[in-house]
Structure 1
């Protein structure tokens, strides 16, 4: 392969401006995540009074020290419960991601009971189900640290209840697939939440704190008149001695997490996965930290996507596929942490030649069993008489068809604009990439606000002309401003991530590490042998 020669000058005005603007967005990202952390930490005195660990301390105790943890859906529910950007709390009252427990790569979900006692938000259930889907697809043991007040009945929505059953269905699917599921019962798990331990393979209950029941004491009294003690009704000790719901009784949170680590370790999970060949690789010649200055925050400012790739791939080396044909689509062969990859990036809108080139490149990657990485910065496919007559629809459709049907892992990063059908052709959300992350400067939607407003203005002017009506310029200007705001307010990465249209917003400088972690996760899934059964492990 050929090492790329960068043309970036880190002292140039454009680089300095790009870096300042990108770092400002990264600061905004951290500030948003800190909202949930800070709000949860306010209840630390209560956790300490009870002799409990805080939710984030539980996650830290569960994970192997010094090993990577890939957070997923960290902005879930942002701008969903409220339109106030300054007050919206991201995270959907849970902490989720992929990490290592006793050397085993696992999916971890933890109730953030420091926020509204862990009560579910509008996106909590969807976030949980998405994590379960990843666990099923990537063959990851599923570990759930449970302490939740359950559904917020004041915000009841029938569709949330209907979809909610999918979380329990997925627990059954995981078990039947031969993927073990675990619950550490740190606190209450009532009503539908009782099926979280009920449907799991291994349950660890914390003495005096963990509780599971279909009806809490208040509900039981309201429904039947029966006055019940919470421990007798739902406590971990009762379940460990009377119902058999709890397999392992722990003295406190720390003990429960230690038991969980021990159980995961004793399963010898990694014996059913081939050991990866240790590939030698070189770090990029160009520092990934420079990405913050390479990419403009404004997607309308052009740059060479190869400059990004040179800061992601081993040795900053890659070979380019058809560099002189369909040049607005850049197709590269490279490696990341020793994993061979095909990389597709954008240096402009996709024209018919670019689409044809992309469709062929995707098929070649599929034939060679090489994962595809999409660096998604696309304003769309070209329009106009010339491009229509050159077969834009036909070639664009074949590109999209190839994206939809490749069998190799697809990893997508939204690194700028991602509009219209261009999003589809570049492995967007609906095309089910194995992993999909966004940079904080990313903008996604059917089109940009300015483009949408201009299109609607031209249509409205045409209608007025046909009817012989006078044009009210002030009204047109006001409508244009409203449309720009309507489209652009829904396009930024924080807003779309809050709606789970990606798996999280990441610092662009972490992209190489994130891609490497995701590639290894995909490799393990494709090389792991499971031992499925028909119905999952029944609790008897």
Structure 2
């Protein structure tokens, strides 16, 4: 392995400007994470605590091994929508009794923990991660079921949440439900379809319909406890497997359940000796320029996230706009594809295809580091076969069976987003830096094409379309695409699994590699037809 040299000068004006811009963007992101953590607000949280209840992140903390990290996922879901940032749900990967688990907690400080359309999308994404990576799933339940005003967007697709729970169980992946409060209507099926159920005395309430609805439907008069209380489910219905006295006791029992699962990882184990990067991770803040048109060397990022700052580059002299090679991160071997300059040419596409095949032969996970404006256009490149070569790369990405992780550090535009394993190509994890941008193309190019086509169309029809009108349309579309390309917008749409502080990149990637190695890592030699 070769150690990557650095040309980064932290005292330079360029570095200082890059760092300032990154910190400004990071501050905006952190402010929105704070909104998500606030849940339903101070009054709702105070009322929640006054009832002897912990907020969702504290419930998660009570289960985790002391001092172990928690990788929160999809924390900004629903940003930019009418719903609370975070989508009334907290989820992520943490270690319980030495076992990596997916933990999902309803935030009942937000409308009683009811599920709106974004709650559902986030839940399905977290369940998908648990299934793909073979992670035991722990649901910390306190939910009033579907958000009734938006039921038309929740009820029909919401069945997938219950289907997923049964499929996790069928796959032999344990599912555990800890019921902290009400779990009514559709929410009752979360514990009902779990392998292990823990309820809390005088707190847990699990029923398909509460007393008012039962009376309206059948005329029967009953109360919460006899209808669906924890004691009843422990003694009469048999739904509860364990009865806890309070929330901390429920966490103790849940940890005991995990300890006795006899669970084992089936993927690779990390190297016993792991060297930290030789270069300062703090410098990651000043590497990526604020302007997406300014190139940067991804080797500078790798030198600050790989073990020992080592990277064994593959085909370094061929297709130099895409860098490929091998490294370790926290002791886990990984193949890396990183855009060295924005545009992908035929050589880069062919190089990537071969590298992906090699990673599949050696059962090595792949990390895609995005900074691409797409595949090259123009007569020379069309005649040179850019479509067939780009298609070859996308074919390889789509059919590769080793786990993929994507990291968008800057631009991720056009078909280059697909070739670098964007969300539609099902990477196990996809994270963004605050500097990320993603769209069908750059905002100025898209605005130019749209406004000029509209102007030409209007003039052909004899309609007035002045230069001022064309400029106004250009500005409007450019501003719209700029806003829709921002990482906050993309994260709110669940197009990534979270926006991360660049300084946390090595930790986040290490946790992701550890999680995906909970399941077997195996490649394939079967791809679609490569058009040569």
Which of the numbers 153, 168, 172 marks the counterpart of 2:148?
Answer: 153
- Spell out, residue by residue over 1:148-168, the C-alpha distance to the aligned partner (whole angstroms, 9 max, x if none): 1221112222x4211101111
> How far did 1:182 drift?
0.7
Distance 2:238 2:483 in 1: 51
Distance 1:297 1:175 in 2: 46
Match of 2:70 in 1: 69
> How far did 1:275 drift?
8.0
Match of 2:388 in 1: 394
Contact preservation (8 Å) 1:329, 1:350: yes
Segments of structure 1 that go 5 or more residues without pairing to the other structure are 82-87, 529-540
Match of 2:38 in 1: 38
Check 1:97–1:214 CA distance in 2 against 1; reply closer, same or farther (3 A cut): same
Contact preservation (8 Å) 1:80, 1:499: no
Tell me if 1:172 matches 2:173.
no
Number of aligned residue pairs: give it.
520
Match of 1:92 in 2: 87
Residues 419-458 of structure 1 correspond to what in structure 2 (within 5 A)?
Answer: 419-458=413-452
Tell me if 1:512 matches 2:500.
no
- Spell out, residue by residue over 1:66-97, the C-alpha distance to the aligned partner (whole angstroms, 9 max, x if none): 1111111101111122xxxxxx6311101100
- Spell out, residue by residue over 1:488-520, the C-alpha distance to the aligned partner (whole angstroms, 9 max, x if none): 221111111111111111111111111111111
Distance 2:335 2:363 in 1: 10
> How far did 1:237 drift?
0.7
Q: Which runs of 4+ in 1 moved over 6 A?
A: none
Contact preservation (8 Å) 2:267, 2:520: no
SS at match of 2:158: helix
Distance 2:459 2:38 in 1: 57
Tell me if 1:251 matches 2:245.
yes
SS at match of 1:144: strand
> How far did 1:98 drift?
0.5
Match of 1:9 in 2: 9
- Spell out, residue by residue over 1:151-191, the C-alpha distance to the aligned partner (whole angstroms, 9 max, x if none): 1112222x421110111111111111111111111010111
Contact preservation (8 Å) 2:45, 2:55: yes
Which of the numbers 252, 269, 288 marks the counterpart of 1:295?
Answer: 288
SS at match of 1:146: strand
Contact preservation (8 Å) 2:327, 2:333: yes
Match of 1:58 in 2: 59
TM-score (normalised: structure 1): 0.93
SS at match of 1:156: helix
Moved more, 337-346 or 189-198: 337-346
Distance 1:341 1:80 in 2: 37
Segments of structure 2 that go 5 or more residues without pairing to the other structure are 523-532
Tell me if 1:408 matches 2:402.
yes
Match of 1:105 in 2: 100
> How far did 1:468 drift?
6.4
TM-score (normalised: structure 2): 0.94
Which of the numbers 204, 213, 217 marks the counterpart of 1:219?
Answer: 213
Contact preservation (8 Å) 1:32, 1:89: no
> How far did 1:448 drift?
1.9
Distance 2:66 2:482 in 1: 41
Residues 123-522 of structure 1 correspond to what in structure 2 (within 5 A)?
Answer: 123-157=118-152, 159-270=153-264, 273=266, 276=269, 278-346=271-339, 347-464=341-458, 466=460, 471-522=465-516
> How far did 1:527 drift?
6.9
Moved more, 424-433 or 132-141: 132-141
